[in-house]
Amino acid sequence: MRLVTIIKNGLPLIALLICGCSSSYVESWDKTVLSPGYWNRLTIEQQAQETRQQIEQSLARDDVEQAQKSLRDSRRENLAEDLLADLYTVVENRLLHEAEQASTAGHPDRAGRLFCMAQEIYPAGSQLQSTIDLSLDEIAGNIEQCADKLMKKGLIAYRSGELVSAIKIWGKIGRFHPDHPPSRVAIGTAERQLKSLEMLESR
């Protein structure tokens, strides 16, 4: 950090002048190392390298969800996708693979959350998108399927009179699909019925 500060303060430029370097060399130095663009680029590359290390460590621990969070944070920091392109491919496809496994195992809530995480960091570049196993539309379709499975499961509980259980099941949809009108309507209906039953029992 101290070395960076010294360079930014221009001391190397003074050293170059003292040593008798040509004016053209000094001018070239000024246009590269001392230019704001150089430091911005260097900072971005350093951030990308730190993010890469974090993601690789998460993947080594088989923690794809933490790897997704690191990629998501890198998007918020406006790191260019091409600096982490290979990791986008790895993380996206592992999320999709685990989501499909969860769906097959009968866990639509976990599958929906993983599909949603994949959707959240889906790359913008078409070339990078071609390396992902599913398109953005296909991921969105899978999220809807997971929500539908939970709706049906909750409906079975609802028809059996298990209102609390139905509400809990439908509530899981909001964790990965917060803008899902059918589940919100169903929860509202069940909660009103549950409240009416509690009032009747209290009399």
What per-residue confidence (pLDDT) applies to 160? 96
What is residue 188's predicted lDDT score, i.e. its pLDDT? Answer: 97
Per-residue pLDDT of the chain (203 residues; tens, 9 = 90+): 444 444 444 545 444 444 555 555 445 544 554 555 554 666 888 999 999 999 999 999 999 999 999 999 999 888 889 999 999 999 999 999 999 999 999 999 999 999 999 999 999 999 999 999 999 999 999 999 999 999 999 999 999 999 999 999 999 999 999 999 999 999 999 999 999 998 888 77
User: Tell me, what's the pLDDT at 23?
Assistant: 53
Question: What pLDDT score does 42 carry?
Answer: 65
- pLDDT number for residue 27: 53
HEC string for the chain? CHHHHHHHCCHHHHHHHHCCCCHHHHHHHHHHCCCHHHHHHHHHHHHHHHHHHHHHHHHHCCCHHHHHHHHHHHHHCCCCHHHHHHHHHHHHHHHHHHHHHHHHCCCHHHHHHHHHHHHHCCCCCHHHHCCCCCCHHHHHHHHHHHHHHHHHHHHHHHHCCCHHHHHHHHHHHHHCCCCCHHHHHHHHHHHHHHHHHHHHHHC
pLDDT at residue 78, rounded to an integer: 85
